């Protein structure tokens, strides 16, 4: 049995297979093999969602399974039942569990105490499904051969804003795993934290995180310009302070002009035009935000199919 909690949980051969299957699933959705044939998979959400919920529910159904939406607030978890007991019970009912939560420890405890595959659909530490979808989106554009995963190697991605958030962490870890050059730009008080440095080391990557408070320096010669919301769920109490501090890191025409002429803009959505990115950048030909949103479905279907192979 295998879990998908972080970007490094699949090796390069498996990632190549995931990307190849994602491309096949995208080419003909109705021809998707029933890898989850008649299996019931749970989707446990501690946080609200649009893309994650719909893409996973549709993907499980298209793989021949049945998706059961679970809300933490409507379960006995909200009344004090332990994660361990919940994991053991759900393991008797389900074939796998997709979890979108706050603390990453929740995912690790479900994986440690249950007996079914656990998929990280977002934690405050990492968002690996989004990274795989993003990487596949870039591979679609850049691959000139069957080596989809290899097409991203050596490319530069510049991330702007809260460089201690889950998306920044995921790009640091995923970029190291895929051989990409990841540069983070944001306010010093939102610089990368020790936890992601420790994770890099634990996964065998002895590299320093590239961080700079200079936005234009980070954007220089980038192949990809990436940003995320400045105020995530749970950070609303400090919303105005965050917006003020992040303003110099807004992705705008000047940032895009500093990147390579053929650079693309990416955002995991939802976006807040006028905050982390301007409307003109969102609407520009360089923006591929809806390609990456669509690819959540195809990449996640391929991730679930790969987990079935690894059982």
The alpha-helical segments, DSSP class H, found in 189-238 are 194-202, 215-219
Check: CB of residue 308 under 8 Å from CB of residue 153: no
Percent of the chain having pLDDT more than 90?
A: 95
Torsion of CA 272, 277, 280, 284, to 10 degrees: -110
What SS3 state is found at 125? coil
Catalytic residue of the set 242, 268, 298, 300: 268
* 199 catalytic per annotation: no
Q: pLDDT, tens digit, for every residue of 234-265?
A: 677 788 999 999 999 999 999 999 999 999 99
Torsion sign over Cα 203, 207, 213, 215: negative
Check: CB of residue 19 under 8 Å from CB of residue 151: no
pTM reported for the whole predicted model:
0.96
Choosing among 3.40.50.1370, 3.20.10.10, 3.30.2350.10, 3.30.40.230, the CATH entry for 130-288 is: 3.40.50.1370
Check: CB of residue 66 under 8 Å from CB of residue 39: yes
**Spans of all domains in the chain:** 7-126+293-310, 130-288
Mean pLDDT is lowest, of 86-100, 126-140, 175-189, 223-237, for 223-237
Q: Is the pLDDT of residue 233 over 70?
A: no
Would you say the CATH fold of 130-288 matches that of 7-126+293-310?
yes
* Model pLDDT, residue 115: 97
Q: What value does the mean pLDDT take over residues 61-90?
A: 96
* Model pLDDT, residue 195: 98
Q: pLDDT, tens digit, for every residue of 132-165?
A: 999 999 999 999 999 999 999 999 999 999 999 9
Q: Is the pLDDT of residue 3 over 70?
A: yes
What residues are paired with 41 via a beta bridge?
Answer: 67, 96
* 100 catalytic per annotation: yes
* 127 catalytic per annotation: yes
* Model pLDDT, residue 238: 85
Determine the straight-line distance between the first and last CA of the chain, rounded to whole angstroms.
4
Angle at CA of residue 241, ends 237 and 246, nearest 5°: 125
* Model pLDDT, residue 119: 98
Q: Is the pLDDT of residue 232 over 80?
A: no
Catalytic residue of the set 228, 250, 267, 275: 228
User: What contacts 24+ positions apart, CB below 8 Å, involve 141-146?
Assistant: 141/264, 141/288, 146/20
192 φ, ψ (degrees, to nearest 5)? -55, 145
* Model pLDDT, residue 95: 98
Catalytic residue of the set 72, 104, 129, 130: 130
7-126+293-310 under CATH 3.40.50.1370, yes or no: yes
* 105 catalytic per annotation: no
Catalytic residue of the set 3, 23, 51, 100: 100
Q: pLDDT, tens digit, for every residue of 300-311?
A: 999 999 999 777
Closest residue by Cα to residue 14 from 201, 149, 172, 128: 149
Catalytic residue of the set 23, 51, 104, 127: 127
């Amino acid at each position: 049995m295998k879990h998908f909690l972080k970007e490094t949980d699949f090796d390069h051969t498996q990632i190549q297979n995931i990307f190849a299957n994602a491309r096949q699933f995208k080419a003909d959705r109705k021809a998707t093999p029933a890898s989850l044939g008649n299996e019931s998979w749970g989707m446990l959400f501690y946080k609200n969602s649009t893309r994650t919920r719909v893409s996973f529910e549709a993907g499980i159904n298209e793989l021949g399974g049945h998706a059961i939406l679970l809300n933490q607030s409507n379960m006995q978890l909200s009344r004090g039942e332990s994660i361990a007991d919940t994991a053991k019970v759900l393991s008797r009912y389900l074939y796998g569990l997709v979890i979108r939560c706050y603390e990453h420890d929740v995912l690790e405890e479900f994986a440690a105490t249950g007996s079914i595959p656990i998929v990280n659909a977002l934690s405050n530490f990492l968002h690996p499904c989004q990274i795989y979808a993003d990487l596949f989106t870039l591979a679609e554009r850049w691959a000139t051969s069957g080596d989809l995963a290899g097409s991203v190697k050596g490319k530069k991605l510049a991330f702007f804003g809260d460089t201690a958030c889950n998306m920044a962490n995921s790009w640091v870890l995923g970029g190291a795993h895929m051989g990409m050059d990841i540069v983070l730009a944001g306010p010093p008080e939102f610089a990368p934290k020790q936890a992601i440095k420790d994770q890099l080391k634990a996964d065998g990557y002895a590299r320093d995180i590239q961080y700079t408070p200079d936005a234009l320096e980070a954007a220089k010669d980038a192949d990809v310009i990436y940003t995320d919301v400045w105020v995530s769920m749970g950070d609303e109490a400090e919303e105005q302070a965050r917006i003020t501090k992040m303003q110099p890191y807004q992705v705008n025409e000047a940032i895009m002009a500093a990147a390579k002429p053929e650079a693309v803009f990416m955002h995991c959505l939802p976006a807040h035009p006028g905050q982390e990115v301007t409307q003109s950048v969102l609407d520009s030909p360089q923006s591929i935000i809806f390609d990456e949103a669509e690819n959540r479905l195809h990449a996640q279907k391929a991730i679930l199919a790969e987990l079935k192979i690894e059982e």
